[in-house]
Structure 1
Amino acid sequence: MSGEVRVSMVDITEKPVVYREATARGFIRLRKETVNAIREGKVPKGDVLNVARIAAVQAVKRTWDLLPLCHPIPITSVSVDFNVREDGVEVTVTVKATSKTGVEMEALTGASIALLTVWDMVKALEKDERGQYPYTSIQEIKVVEKIKRA
């Protein structure tokens, strides 16, 4: 090759349309005081989990627009669940579709955006006296299950 860079979408033309499902999970580590504010509904920006849920659904539906080589997929279901723990918030996103290609990138995108939204909503509570985030971190975003059924 002479320095040429090639990129292309995977050709799924001949693949059959089948049921697809993927679940992704991730975690945002937060200060205990921030977790308490989320639980008590005292975050200045509003209802953290509901905003993050809506953001995750939007992200799932727009994954093809965010990731250059992803196919647009007719999403049939998105569920977003949160587990508020003592040390932060865990999100689980499950995406379903009947399609020629899988939905794991959509589930990962949904989980990522949900966690980023949580961070955005609580960042004023997480900053230290220098305006830094020494404790806050997004961790372990991964696919925990993928299903394909004919």
Structure 2
Amino acid sequence: MTPKLTHFDDGGNAVMIDVSTKSVTARTATAKGRVVMQAGTAELIASHGHKKGDVLAISQLAGIMGAKRTADLIPLCHPLPLDSVTVTLTLAEDQPAVDIMATCKTSGRTGVEMEALTAVSITALTVFDMCKAVDKTMQLTNIRVIYKDGGKSGTFIAD
């Protein structure tokens, strides 16, 4: 049997999923991603030498703010009361890059994967925006959910 996309009714119209009958449970999701850059750009970030300010701190704040606005950005996404949003940024050791991880938590009827993905995406976009004047070659890569827990489908851990 072919899986059915859940955001469409039988007539093919877009719908917001009715979660009113689902149980409220504790839900957590973690996403990660990476911004790959030139070595000089990573050095500029590490030395806090960027004229726009602390790239990592500003990008972290943008990611938290982004998670809180997910339902405004993603059509058909339920607005969720977030209990916790954490965003961490680290300079990668294996290549010039910034690694981003975001974890979102809520008690609700639907998961927080979209909030975690939005946090990572907005964080990565902010790193790009702050550094684009010195590095137009940056790449936002490998943004994905790596962990999810709660709700009927249980726990997911990426390989």
Q: Report the TM-score, using the length of structure 2 for normalisation.
A: 0.85
Output one character per residue of 1:28-83: Cα deviation in whole Å (capped at 9) or x when no partner: 00110010110100011111011111100111000001011000000000011112
Partner residue, 1:114: 123
**Equivalent AA in structure 2 for residue 102 of structure 1:** G
Distance 1:32 1:147 in 2: 36
- Does 2:48 match 1:51? no
Instruction: Count residues in correspondence.
Output: 140
4+ long deviations beyond 3 Å: none
| CA drift at 1:124 | 1.1
- For structure 2, list consecutive stretches of 5 or more residues without a partner in the other structure: 1-10, 153-159
| CA drift at 1:142 | 0.2
**Corresponding residue to 1:90 among 91, 99, 116:** 99
| CA drift at 1:108 | 0.2
Distance 2:131 2:97 in 1: 11
Q: Secondary structure of the residue that 2:129 maps to in structure 1?
A: helix
Partner residue, 1:130: none
Q: Secondary structure of the residue that 1:10 maps to in structure 2?
A: coil
Q: Secondary structure of the residue that 1:82 maps to in structure 2?
A: strand
User: What are the equivalent positions in structure 2 for 1:30-49 lying under 5 Å apart?
Assistant: 30-49=37-56
Distance 1:65 1:116 in 2: 17
Q: Secondary structure of the residue that 1:125 maps to in structure 2?
A: coil
Identity of aligned residues (%): 39
- For structure 1, list consecutive stretches of 5 or more residues without a partner in the other structure: 127-132
**Equivalent AA in structure 2 for residue 92 of structure 1:** M
Distance 2:34 2:121 in 1: 9
Partner residue, 1:148: 150
CA RMSD of aligned residues (A): 1.4
| CA drift at 1:96 | 0.3
Partner residue, 1:139: 141
Output one character per residue of 1:94-146: Cα deviation in whole Å (capped at 9) or x when no partner: 000000000000000000000000000111110xxxxxx3x311100000000
